[in-house]
Structure 1
């Protein structure tokens, strides 16, 4: 087990205690140290010199197969296209989910640790990373109903039988904030009979139970694996809905913010220079709450900017854009908006 710096480790222990209770905090902190040692046996604690970003940074967002050439893996084609045409104008490439998936344009992940064979391999992803910083999606609110995790749940195999949220269908869930109109609960068969599982976005996207510490550690492992594969920015997809507590809106809960802060502690401790971006398409005050006090996400999307910019172009006036921008408070030190 590696020796981790004491102050950030104590901060992380406190977050674990607030999420899972003081009784488990010491054991789970030791578990984290073991996990960290698998990826960083000799970590370097110093942050990279210079700013983490500046006004010259440009992020290109693309699916892995948006550029194609017959007989060639799409990620390989994308790599050659980017290197030939964009290496002097783009600094970061956000490859939208490139994992095996079952729906929602990649956001219903079947296997988080594999590259979709129709797109290419991890070698192809790393080749893009040789010339650009990389952004990956960490789709952590839900997983595909076709994943091994959910299939194991359906047949009662540990540890995955405890990865999902079961709710009786007559439970009062009227307070839950919904981003979509699909049913919140989806029936499925298990060895114990029919069960109803939480599905915020669709029946194919089954929500994960972060109240189970094994789910948290599964995603800590995935997060560190993505960093090992070259991710510089990790986009936390649909993060606002992460923690469920019946009798609340189940959005922006304190536990969700605590998980993001814990992730921030981890990347600052083990991979300084890695950035967290929260995807929270919410009213402005709720959106920027994911900055925390400079101890949560490094970046949040500025969702108000694109429509205001399009309005200015369409109607030939910057009146509303200027008014909005002049009243916009600065983000905390060490944080920024993306867009």
Structure 2
């Protein structure tokens, strides 16, 4: 199908979004501007990527497969440079990786950059990591290994030293309209109704910039200027960046901070309908020019707000939005379950995770580069518990190592009294750091596999975070680095220790990951999970393809509802050991 035919078929969906977002603008002129851009970028698309487009249009559910497992990493922490990362593709392939999310790859702000998420240039690579030519070679190497490359596309903001921000600061009216500036009175009024993302390190939502004549909207850090998506030229500029990056071989975009895009007085400026219209417009445009490309929503929001990020019907038929959405609530629920020795909350989240539209999948994980944000599951807990905040505070306190806890987490943006977040690597949070003997290490390793099993058995594109396959522990050395000391999340962003892959713990963890991957492939399980009854509060049951998987979040053995052959051990089993997993083979 040619770009003209795709434009004819998909263009109306794109134009609907533009009409919803910019009703007061000249629609004909805007459509012409966007369509001209689409044709130009389509003409530049390399033949190899056009062939990939055709293959994926013929197989639109290619990313909803039992073998679709992922990996997420920082380039410098993993391989030093883009070329160094490319040298370790064989390691990723051995883990069964089919999707690689490279964090903070684009050129970042000089100095503090929120871990690279304050982007100074959407079309350049961080110089210390390499060049765009290096990225093209990496993408080609990954495609040969059947691995899709994903990078971050920051939609909510740019760095304050981005060319657009520099021009705005210098008085260019075109680029000044790319950002939002309010006076002191409006900033105070808005701050009273807006929550704070980083209340300790970056309180408030505005930053006074004299050259801009007021207070620039800065939801995250003062050096991250929020984009004014009410301006259609912002949509055009971001779309152009996405299309150019896709033509360099990038196959997926993690859309950073999607919930925050549209600003509306009288609201908390999160999850507003216009934010969805923006992303659906980007999706339609990419479907026209680069249909091999996936969009993934970084929507770290309560479960009830997640479904629209997959798309919805607003009267003109179903409008797809993101192919992938983080199942953040399931990740948080897994840690609550470990702390409580109860499967109640993950069972609720699994039940709420069904009903995905065609051509959509969850992105599941045990840990990531961010903190465990406890507030994400407050809404889910309110339905089953009269005091959800107290319950989450207890879970957080346990993971922070209070009492006889085996966990070694650290509070994030709080002294632990406020309900905010928890930092730590998978291994340290699961007890490997605190383990002093073989018995304690065995229990910690089981808990690591348990959370990996929750991610894999729940059917989504299960993604391993860098170093978790090696059991890397918290890196406390970050506190001695003046550029990192204020950002507690660096505790779980250690440099990859390649020697650690040969330790007994790493061999056990990676071996268990392989067994879980093979079991899911054999079961045919992928996509939305389905809960199954277990009869025990500590035991979570999930139907995965033809099989049933049982996850024991307690420190005692629990009987399975019926005996069967376990794909992981090959034995016929009647019970799940403490902190254990049993993958019952159908009909065995």
Aligned to 2:263: 244
Q: Does 1:298 align with 2:323?
A: yes
Please give the residue correspondences for 1:138-149 in structure 2 after superposition, counting only pairs within 5 Å.
138-149=153-164
Task: Name the stretch that deviates more: 175-184 or 196-205.
Answer: 175-184
Aligned match of 2:27: 25
1:180 is aligned to 2:198? yes
In the TM superposition, 1:26-105 aligns within 5 A as 26-41=28-43, 47-50=56-59, 51-53=61-63, 54-68=65-79, 74-82=81-89, 84-88=90-94, 89-102=96-109, 103-105=113-115
Note the alpha carbon deviations across 1:83-124, whole angstroms, 9 max, x for none: x32224211111111122131001101111101110011122
**Cα distance between partner residues in 2 of 1:158 and 1:307:** 44
| Cα-to-partner distance string for 1:220-261 (whole Å, 9 max, x where unaligned) | 001101111112111110011101122222111111111111
Q: What's the CA shift for 1:263?
A: 1.1
What TM-score, normalized by structure 1, do the two folds share? Answer: 0.90
Which residue of the partner structure matches residue 203 of structure 1?
A: 222
1:167 corresponding residue in structure 2:
182
Distance in 1 between residues matched to 2:223 and 2:329, nearest whole Å: 30
Deviates more, 1:314-323 or 1:27-36: 314-323
The structure with more radius of gyration: 2
**Map of 1:231 onto structure 2:** 250
Q: How large is the RMSD of aligned CA atoms in angstroms?
A: 2.2
CA–CA distance in structure 2, aligned partners of residues 247 and 313 of structure 1: 39
Q: 1:184 to 1:309 in 2, by over 3 A?
A: closer
Which blocks of at least 5 consecutive residues in structure 1 are unaligned? none
Contact 2:44-2:247 at 8 Å conserved across structures: no
Q: Distance in 2 between matches of 1:307 and 1:252?
A: 20
Partners of 1:157 and 1:282 lie apart in 2 by: 36
2:293 is equivalent to residue 282 of structure 1:
no
* Equivalent in the alignment of 2:333: 308
The answer to whether structure 1 residue 262 and structure 2 residue 281 are counterparts is yes
Return closer, same or farther for 1:251/1:122 CA change in 2, 3 Å cut-off: same
Deviation string, structure 1 residues 247-292 (Cα, Å, up to 9, x no partner): 2221111111111111111122222231111111111011222112
**8 Å CA contact retained: 2:325, 2:363:** yes
Structure 2: tracts of 5 or more residues without a match: 313-318, 365-588
C-alpha change, 1:323 and 1:248, in structure 2 (3 Å) is closer
Q: Which has the higher helix share?
A: 2
Q: How many residues align?
A: 331
Greater strand fraction, Structure 1 or Structure 2: 2
Is contact 2:156–2:227 with CA below 8 Å preserved after alignment?
A: yes
Normalized against structure 2, the TM-score is what?
0.53
